[in-house]
Structure 1
Amino acid sequence: MSYKKILCSYNDGIARITLNSPKNLNAMDYSLLSELSKELDECKKNANVRVVVLNGAGKGFSGGGDIAAMYKAIEEGQGFGELIEKAAEVALKIKKLPKPVIAAVHGPVAGAGFNVAIACDFCIAAENALFLQAFVKIGLIPDCGGVYLLTRAVGAAKASELALTGKKISAKKALELGIVSEMYNNEEFEEKTNKFALKIAKGPAVSYKNMKQLIYKSQFSDFEDYLKEEVRAQVECSKTEDFKEGLKAFLEKRQPNYIGR
């Protein structure tokens, strides 16, 4: 299948999906999310795929949403319902994929990029990775299942701190918090990630499938219901003046002047 914003390769039982829109830091726009969703379906159907590695081209994994495109859409009176639903769809497909998914992240891992990464079964980071729940800075809530996944990863108190303040955390701190399972220096990051993916690819596929299903049932059984509420809440936030002001302030590189309505 031919894509415009992702690259895919298959080798030794490993499907590598690379977010490939480096000019806007692999922004999670509708086009990229749609392609990612389709490729996850392909990985699910392909019996030769035993593990999926998700990474990003260029300077980082993903900077989150395309702020300039969002502001243009707001100015033109367009809504964001379809985009928000597609983000939720990707997170759900990662969690329910009957094969292990490894996020291999470097550089900025922000917004939706952060939450796609923690939706994966493993998150392996280069030491230069920088994690950021950026939504509060533009008057939104975390999408891609962010609050749900983050509270389960680090607990409610730390998730509240990260989501409500938009605080940046280093790869080292993310490792300490349990967001990241392994961290490697930038030079050996790719080699170590590939070695781990190959080890998983040689493992027991049926066992992995059943473990993922049981983990989902025990920890994420209400995830779909949560995502519906997340979409509703995000649509509400996207209609506010705070959202428009947050986007404008970001583009103008200044602090937003929220009005709290």
Structure 2
Amino acid sequence: MELQKLHYDVANGIAVVTMDYPKNLNAIDEQMADELLYVVKLAEEDPDVKVVVFKGASKAFSAGGDIGYFYQLIQAGGKVNMDSLFDKVGKVTNGIKKMSKMVIASVSGAAAGAGVSLALTADFVICAENAKFIMAFVNLGLVPDTGGTYLLVKQLGEKRALELCATGRPLPAMEAKEFGIVYKVVPNEELEAATMKLAEKFAAGPLISYKNIKKQIYAASFADYEQYLTACEIPTQSECVASSDFCEGVKAFVEKRKAAFEGK
């Protein structure tokens, strides 16, 4: 596959996946999802890859969905159908959770919507001080996808997960570390070095042990993950996408005004 929205580089046993589509702040659209699926499979099957790092640009890890594209469709009177996208992003996160190799997310700037879910899927999250996590779905009249709600409930418990999903408030890097979902927070200029130091440590470690630790953790905590994605996440998000509130949320976001939701 020809990669257009991300880069995939392997050196010294470390695969670095860099999302690089500044036009929409690394939004996870259909093409980005296809490319992520491809590199997740590629890294898993490559015997030369021992550790995988996901990163974005300094300004944003990923802005989540391509709201500008949704706005254009809505304005043109078209129907927004994202069932295929929901299926793909679920497979991306499940592929990362099931991966036999350690996965590190290196987060600088904003991780919003599906970008939060992608970052939290990693085994270790290292953040720059300017990083912030925003479960922005509710502001568009949507529910979290890419496994977001499931991951937050597992990592934070029901109450904190509900607060972040229902309010959509930004979660700063240091607070995320206090919550236990971020491994380390470093000055912005030290993020690259700190990420690679951890990656190099894992690349030189007991890979068979790591693989089986991950397998145990998946069995203990994520055995029903695929069922959640297909039986709950996709149908609930699809209902929200079909609502008038979603159209209003998208329009309000692009037009920089407060949304007037009607619960319809």
TM-score normalised by L of structure 1: 0.98
Q: Contact 2:14/2:200 (CA < 8 Å) preserved in 1?
A: yes
Number of residue pairs matched? 261
- Within 5 Å, give how 1:174-253 maps onto structure 2: 174-228=176-230, 229-253=232-256
What is the match of residue 54 of structure 2?
A: 54
Q: Contact 1:13/1:50 (CA < 8 Å) preserved in 2?
A: yes
What is the match of residue 68 of structure 2?
A: 68
- Within 5 Å, give how 1:163-174 maps onto structure 2: 163-174=165-176
What is the match of residue 96 of structure 2?
A: 94
The match for 1:157 among 156, 159, 165 is 159
Counterpart amino acid of residue 233 in structure 1: T
**Cα deviation, residue 163, structure 1:** 0.2
**Cα deviation, residue 71, structure 1:** 2.1
What is the match of residue 108 of structure 2?
A: 106
Q: Which runs of 5+ in 1 are unaligned?
A: none
Q: After superposition, what is the alpha-carbon deviation per residue over 1:9-57, rounded to whole angstroms, capped at 9, x for unaligned?
A: 1011000000110121101111001101111000011001000000002
Counterpart amino acid of residue 56 in structure 2: G
Counterpart amino acid of residue 226 in structure 2: E
Measure the CA separation in 1 of the matches of 2:93 and 2:71: 24
Q: After superposition, what is the alpha-carbon deviation per residue over 1:186-221, rounded to whole angstroms, capped at 9, x for unaligned?
A: 111111111110001111111111111110000010
Q: Contact 1:73/1:79 (CA < 8 Å) preserved in 2?
A: no
The Cα RMSD (Å) is 0.9
TM-score normalised by L of structure 2: 0.97
Q: After superposition, what is the alpha-carbon deviation per residue over 1:201-257, rounded to whole angstroms, capped at 9, x for unaligned?
A: 111111111111110000010000000110111111100000000000000101110
Q: Does 1:5 align with 2:5?
A: yes
Moved over 3 A (4+): none
Q: Contact 2:57/2:108 (CA < 8 Å) preserved in 1?
A: no
- Within 5 Å, give how 1:124-163 maps onto structure 2: 124-163=126-165
What is the match of residue 16 of structure 1?
A: 16
Measure the CA separation in 2 of the matches of 1:197 and 1:91: 20
Measure the CA separation in 1 of the matches of 2:83 and 2:3: 23
